[in-house]
């Protein structure tokens, strides 16, 4: 069930750990729909529209079940709005005469866009580029491809710092250049990749030494496994523990 983690963001990593959870797989097998009815709008936005709720999927932080046989790049998981600790909230107002300079369309953001509209009718649009994603909850936009005048919401002053960072990323998404956007500090690709390998090997019943070889290579393990510091053994144990923790629910922390 492996897939190369190229340009994974926190949501992608969260899915990789969740889809290995045996309880999630069991819930997916006995729940519908097993395949999400997604469509692609003419501006490239991938849209999932749900006519009912899926409480068993919501328990895992999703709007609906995604196929655990598929990696994040093959079948995006539609994370529930409530699963995100931080998201941009805006009211979409109809553009008035003279608003042309500030009016926006979703197509103005040079990113991959996945949108889901649940039974509440409020679109959640997840924008992603260069391993960074911004969840955008939009009220008042009846047609996702229409233009709108955005009015951003701030719930309180404690929300200011996080919203400022998200809005900076959102602004960068409108740029045509390829400047790399800084990933959130909790997303470390190398550590998460190692933890994922450790988890996979552990689920196969491999020993710590075999897991270490899969991660660090046979040469390094042969040189350091019996070293006085026990560093490599301890690091391997920690990676297995971290991978297991993320699979069993810690993946939610990766959503930011």
As a whole number of angstroms, the distance between CA 215 and CA 221 comes to: 10
Are 166 and 58 within one domain? yes
Indicate the average pLDDT of the chain. 89
Is position 182 within any domain?
no
Are 61 and 148 within one domain? yes
What pLDDT, on the 0 to 100 scale, is given for residue 214?
97
Are 131 and 214 within one domain? no
Q: Mind giving me the DSSP string for 86-140?
A: --EEEEEEPPPTT-TTT-B-GGGS-SEEEEEE-TT--EEEEEEETTEEEEEEEES
Are 86 and 42 within one domain? yes
Q: Which of 225, 223, 227 is nearest to 210 (CA)?
A: 225
Q: What is the mean pLDDT of residues 143-168?
A: 87
Among 145, 172, 199, the domain boundary falls at 172
As a whole number of angstroms, the distance between CA 24 and CA 248 comes to: 10
Are 94 and 199 within one domain? no
Pairing of strands 149-152, 88-93: antiparallel
Are 41 and 168 within one domain? yes
Are 205 and 154 within one domain? no
pLDDT digits (tens, 9 = 90+) for 234-251: 999 999 999 999 999 999
Is position 5 within any domain?
no
What pLDDT, on the 0 to 100 scale, is given for residue 7?
78
Q: How confident is the model at residue 3 (pLDDT cuts 50, 70, 90)?
A: low
Among 107, 138, 172, the domain boundary falls at 172
Q: How confident is the model at residue 1 (pLDDT cuts 50, 70, 90)?
A: very low
What pLDDT, on the 0 to 100 scale, is given for residue 35?
73
Are 143 and 200 within one domain? no
Alpha-helix runs per DSSP H in the chain: 10-18, 22-29, 55-58, 160-172, 189-203, 208-216, 218-224, 231-247
Are 139 and 94 within one domain? yes
State which residues form the domain around 207. Answer: 189-255
Q: Which two tokens stand for residue 141?
A: 């936009």
Is position 108 within any domain?
yes
Are 120 and 57 within one domain? yes
Q: How confident is the model at residue 12 (pLDDT cuts 50, 70, 90)?
A: very high
pLDDT digits (tens, 9 = 90+) for 43-66: 999 999 999 999 999 999 999 999
As a whole number of angstroms, the distance between CA 92 and CA 111 comes to: 19
Bridge partner residues of 115 (DSSP): 47, 125
Is position 92 within any domain?
yes
């Amino acid at each position: 069930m492996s897939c190369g983690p190229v340009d994974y963001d926190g949501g992608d990593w969260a899915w990789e750990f969740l889809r290995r959870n045996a309880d999630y797989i069991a819930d997916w097998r006995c729940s519908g729909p097993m395949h999400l009815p997604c469509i692609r709008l003419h501006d490239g936005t991938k849209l999932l529209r749900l006519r009912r709720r899926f409480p068993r999927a919501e328990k895992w932080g999703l709007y609906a079940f995604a196929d655990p046989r598929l990696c994040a790049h093959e079948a995006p998981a539609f994370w529930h709005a409530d699963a995100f600790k931080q998201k941009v909230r805006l009211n979409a107002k109809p553009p008035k005469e003279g608003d042309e300079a500030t009016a926006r369309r979703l197509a103005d953001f040079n990113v991959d866009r996945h949108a889901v509209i649940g039974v509440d009718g409020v679109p959640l649009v997840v924008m992603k580029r260069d391993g960074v994603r911004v969840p955008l909850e939009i009220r008042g936009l009846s047609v996702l491809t229409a233009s709108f005048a955005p009015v951003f919401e701030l719930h309180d002053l404690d929300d200011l710092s996080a919203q400022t960072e998200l809005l900076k990323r959102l602004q960068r998404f409108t740029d045509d250049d390829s400047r790399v956007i800084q990933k959130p500090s909790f997303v470390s690709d190398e550590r998460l990749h190692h933890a994922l390998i450790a988890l996979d090997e552990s689920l196969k019943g491999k020993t710590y030494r075999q897991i270490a070889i899969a991660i660090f290579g046979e040469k390094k393990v042969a040189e350091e496994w019996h070293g006085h510091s026990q560093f490599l053994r301890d690091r391997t144990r920690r990676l297995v523990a971290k991978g297991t923790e993320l699979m069993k629910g810690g993946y939610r922390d990766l959503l930011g």
